[in-house]
Structure 1
């Protein structure tokens, strides 16, 4: 209950801060929508030259992209730690975090919240709804709960990978970071996994499992039975990678020796 109380207190302060600069908030919403529109236009351009991409139709690809936006939005809202190395290690703010009686990772996550990113999830739901209508998909009452389970699993996959990358900073405070490169690699998870060669498929499934963020869980709703087993692995993979990230974080905290002078 203590952590729940702290979470809502952080959220209240965050909303007060954001509402003081409403123009900036509107610009952030607009920039997110433009970014999502560009990616959607890219898919439409590709299918302007072909009707199928390795057996996947345009509307199926759009559905996958829409689903991908939901866990990605959750991740962007609550695990926005792309600048962890620069802010908390190089600038020494990690020392401040460690003086408080709350788990350090929990504090970092709350301090870097960007709740406006949740708008991307709404956009994803709209895109999924439109694609579902075009594909004439039928859903069951339990699909809503599976959708939530898959979306949370995809979010944990993202969080696990990027928190693990952030822990590298505890052993190396170099200003260079592999975060931007990893963000680019993660985008491959929004496309059908079987359009890549075997090596890339293996990496996106078991090493950097970004395929569990978009294509695998989407395959269940699209009726791709050959991918069902992977779809139901989504929450399991999310929990595994998130637990690994927490273990690495706790080990990194013990190794951390402060910002020095």
Structure 2
């Protein structure tokens, strides 16, 4: 309850600051929407030259992309730590974080959250509803609960991977950052993994499991029974990677010796 109270107060203050510059907030939301529209156009352009992509129809690809946007929006809102090395290690902000009686990772997440990114989840749901209607998908009473667990699992996978990457800064404060490259690799998870080489499929499944963010959980709702096993592993993989990332973070904090020359 203490952590929930802290989160609530941080959220209220964040909303106050964002609403103070409403035009800036509106422009940011529109830029995110434009970025998502560009990705949609890319999918439509691909399917203007073919009716199937390795057995996947256009509507199925759109459904996967829409599903991908939901956990990705949660991740973008609460795990915006791409500049952790520069801001908290190189500039010494981590010293301030460690003087407070609350877990350091929780503080960093609260300071760097961008709640407007949750708007992407609405876009994803709209795309899923459109694609699902075109495919004639049926929904059972328990599907919303499964959807919620898989979305949270996917968000935890993203969060876990990027927290682990941020934790590397505790051992090396080099300004060479692999975050941008990892963001590009993460985007592979919004397309069916069977269109890639088997080596890439293995990496996206068991090493950097971004396939569990989009295609595997989507396979359940699309009725792809051959991938049901992977789909139901999504919450477990998410919990595993998030737990691993917290452990790595804690080990890094123990090693941290503060800013200095």
Is residue 2:90 matched to residue 1:90? yes
| Structure 2 residue aligned with 1:218 | 218
Is residue 2:111 matched to residue 1:111? yes
Q: Secondary structure at the match of 2:65?
A: helix
What do residues 43-87 of structure 1 show as CA deviations (whole Å, max 9, x unaligned)? 000000000000000000000000000000000011111111111
* Structure 1: runs of 5+ lacking an equivalent: none
| Structure 1 residue aligned with 2:4 | 4
Q: Secondary structure at the match of 1:233?
A: helix
Q: Distance in 2 between matches of 1:95 and 1:27?
A: 34
Is residue 2:83 matched to residue 1:47? no
Q: Distance in 1 between matches of 2:118 and 2:105?
A: 21
Q: CA deviation at 1:176?
A: 1.5
Q: Distance in 1 between matches of 2:60 and 2:250?
A: 41
Q: Secondary structure at the match of 1:254?
A: helix
| Structure 2 residue aligned with 1:58 | 58
* Structure 2: runs of 5+ lacking an equivalent: none
Q: Secondary structure at the match of 2:139?
A: coil
| Structure 1 residue aligned with 2:204 | 204
Q: Which ranges of 4 or more aligned residues in structure 1 deviate by more than 3 Å?
A: none
Is residue 2:36 matched to residue 1:36? yes
| Structure 2 residue aligned with 1:173 | 173
Q: CA deviation at 1:197?
A: 1.0
What are the residue-to-residue correspondences of 1:152-167 with 2, within 5 Å?
Answer: 152-167=152-167
What do residues 10-53 of structure 1 show as CA deviations (whole Å, max 9, x unaligned)? 10110011011111100110010001000111000000000000
What are the residue-to-residue correspondences of 1:220-259 with 2, within 5 Å?
Answer: 220-259=220-259
Q: Distance in 1 between matches of 2:152 and 2:10?
A: 21
Q: Distance in 2 between matches of 1:83 and 1:31?
A: 21
Give the CA RMSD over aligned residues.
Answer: 0.5
| Structure 2 residue aligned with 1:182 | 182
| Structure 1 residue aligned with 2:80 | 80
Q: Distance in 1 between matches of 2:161 and 2:189?
A: 13
| Structure 1 residue aligned with 2:140 | 140
TM normalised by structure 1 equals 0.99
Q: CA deviation at 1:175?
A: 1.2
Aligned length: 261
Q: Distance in 1 between matches of 2:40 and 2:151?
A: 20
TM normalised by structure 2 equals 0.99
Q: CA deviation at 1:117?
A: 0.2
What do residues 193-247 of structure 1 show as CA deviations (whole Å, max 9, x unaligned)? 1001111000000000000000000000000000000000000000000000000
